[in-house]
Every structure is written in C-alpha cells, then in structure tokens.
C-alpha cells in the first residue's frame, strides 16, 4: 500500500481541477484582554497583529495548488477593496482567478474573528446571502462552460451564499457527465438534497445526519446505513463520511463499505480539514484512481492538516513524508 500511495502523488500533481463555490476572506485580529471597557460590560482587546487567509472554496483551491496541481476558481466577489485583496491572495497561492465574477451589488464576503489569549471574543461577518442577479448567474454558467474543457475534475464547495443553485448544479453535472469527469461536493445541509447524480459527496457525520434528518448515528453500522440512504436519495456513485477521530467511511453504490482509521498523530485544529479531504480526493479521482485509493490518500492528507493551527494546507512533500513515516512505524 505504501508504494501505491507514494506513486499516486506525482499523478495528483499533473491534474487540473475546477472549484466552484462561495469564497471568503477569513481575517483574524489577534490581541490580549487586560480590562473591561468603561463604556459597556465588554472586554477591551489590545491588538498585536492581524492576519488574513482564503476561506471556503478559496481554501479548497489553495489545497490543490499547495499539493502542486492546478486550480481554477469560479466564485463571486464584490467590486470593492476586499475583492481586490482576495484576487491578490489568489494570485499569491497560484490559483487561476481569471473566471472570478464581480457583482457590483454585493460585497466580498469577509469574516473577521477577534481573538484574545487564544479565545475568540467575537466574529463579525460582512456578507449578503441569497440568490444572485440573472446577469451574475449567467456569467457564472458561461465561465463554467469555458473552464470545464481545461480540467479533469470539479469540486462544488457550497457555503450557502448563493452560488450553488439548482441551475448552476445542473449545468455542472450535465457537462461533467458528457466529458466523463468526476464531480465532488462539500455539502451545505440546506442544499443537501439537491446534489443528485454526482461522483462523491464528502460530509462529516453531523452534516450527513442532518442532511438526512437522522439521529443517534454512532456505530460503523449506523454510518454505513446512513451512507446507503444518501446514495439512494442522490443517485450518486459514492459518499465519503468523515468521522473525526474515528477516521472515514466510504460507501460505494455497489454497497461496498470501507472503514478507514484516522492517520492523525496529533489534532490541534480541525478547521479546513474537510477542504483538504475533498481537494485530495478529487485530485485522485481525476487521475483515475479508484474510490478506496482516493479516500486512503485523502485520509493521510487530513491527518497532516489537523496537526496545524488555523486554516492550513499541506505540500506534496509533507504528504510523501507522512506516508513513509506511518509505514516505517507500523
């Protein structure tokens, strides 16, 4: 298995993936609290520094380029300073942003977290949710039609901000089926039942349960049954349910169930781990590897990223070293 997984990595790097979804700037303001404001019973944060990173679909695309592959991003930004800033961040991550759509009627989504002494004090969201104008929706679809011939796989990264609507979904799936390339989805519970005829969905246990209105999902048998229900409802080829410290469970349409134990040695932060999973999984499927092999290497990638603090990515060399280290100690 070690040699097979290692041999996959160069093939992942040869792939090009289209990421369609909601992108945001995640801003962090860091500081300390030593007193309460005299104006109101709230802490006064003395700021030491601030950082920004790509969130949502942007982080998925960032995971792809970090592994050495090519990422095209189709998302919507505002005609504002934050939109310019996001383009600069995409450029820095070597993410193709030629097909990003600008909507003058909505702001670029930015989520600002104020953190004092390692604790989040407050989060401030600047965004507008809901359906986009017909012109923006048409621009998204036109760009999808232009980019798909350039890629070997498509990721739908849905954060329920308005990009992933039935019209866009149907267009993606129809073209992908015609070209015989995989479509994977990182779902949002609100839209769970819309993702029909896809290649793979990668929900965590909570998302899978809520999407199917299921309760008391604890055992391997519960997960397997839930996965089968999802496949039947969505008529998809597979579902990969991520389960934290319990690893992952892959359910395929032929009723094949594969439980994959976690490869994480340490867990500091699970932020963005789902982005790493779907990015790696889709690269592997685009390279024509089977579902089990794709899930296995995605599991190793996730085990690395949860050992990092904050929204993080991994490199191909880190993935290679992690696989070698695991089998050396086994």
* pLDDT for position 244: 84
> pTM for the full model?
0.92
β-partners of residue 126 are 110
For this structure, is 275 an active site residue? yes
Number of domains composing the chain:
1
Q: Which residues contact 271 (CB under 8 A, 6 or more apart)?
A: 310, 311, 312
For residue 295 the two structure tokens come to 């899930």
- Chain Cα centroid distance, residue 255: 26
Phi-psi region of 164 (alpha: psi -120 to 50; beta: other; left: phi over 0): beta
Q: Within 10 A of 213 (CB to CB), how many other CB atoms are there?
A: 7
* pLDDT for position 330: 67
CA distance to 180, 188, 238, per residue, from 163 (Å): 23, 12, 24
* pLDDT for position 268: 43
Name the residue range of residue 117's domain.
2-329
Which domain CATH number covers 61? 3.40.1190.20
d(CA 9, CA 14): 9
d(CA 173, CA 201): 13
Q: Among the options 26, 103, 186, 275, which is catalytic?
A: 275
pLDDT along the chain (330 residues), means of 10: 91 98 93 94 94 94 97 97 96 97 95 88 92 94 96 95 92 94 94 94 94 92 95 96 90 93 62 86 97 95 77 87 84
* pLDDT for position 133: 92
């Amino acid at each position: 298995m070690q040699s097979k997984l290692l041999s996959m990595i160069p093939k992942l790097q040869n792939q090009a993936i289209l990421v369609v979804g909601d992108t945001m700037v995640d801003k962090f303001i860091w500081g300390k609290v030593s007193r309460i404001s005299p104006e109101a019973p709230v802490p006064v944060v003395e700021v030491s520094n601030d950082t920004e990173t790509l969130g949502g679909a942007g982080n998925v695309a960032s995971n792809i380029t970090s592994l050495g592959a090519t990422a095209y991003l189709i998302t919507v930004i505002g005609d504002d300073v934050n939109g310019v800033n996001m383009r600069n961040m995409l450029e820095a991550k070597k993410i193709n942003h030629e097909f990003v759509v600008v909507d003058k009627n909505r702001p670029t989504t930015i989520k600002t977290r104020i953190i004092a002494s390692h604790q989040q004090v407050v989060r401030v969201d600047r965004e507008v949710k809901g359906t986009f104008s017909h012109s923006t929706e048409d621009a998204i679809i036109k760009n999808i039609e232009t980019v798909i011939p350039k890629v070997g796989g498509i990721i739908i990264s849905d954060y329920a901000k308005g990009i992933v609507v039935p019209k866009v979904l149907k267009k993606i799936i129809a073209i992908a089926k015609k070209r015989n390339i995989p479509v994977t989805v990182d779902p949002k519970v609100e839209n769970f039942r819309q993702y029909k005829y896809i290649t793979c969905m990668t929900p965590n246990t909570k998302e899978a349960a809520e999407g199917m209105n299921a309760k008391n999902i604890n055992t391997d048998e519960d997960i397997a049954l839930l996965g089968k229900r999802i496949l039947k409802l969505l008529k998809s080829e597979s579902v990969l349910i991520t389960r934290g410290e319990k690893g992952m469970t892959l359910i395929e349409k032929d009723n094949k169930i594969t439980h994959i134990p976690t490869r994480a040695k340490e867990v500091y932060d699970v932020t963005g781990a789902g982005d790493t999973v779907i990015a790696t999984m889709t690269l592997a499927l685009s390279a024509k590897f089977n579902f089990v092999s794709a899930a296995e290497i995605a599991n190793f990638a996730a085990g690395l990223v949860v050992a990092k603090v904050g929204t993080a990515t991994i490199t191909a060399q880190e993935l290679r070293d992690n696989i070698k280290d695991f089998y050396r100690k086994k």
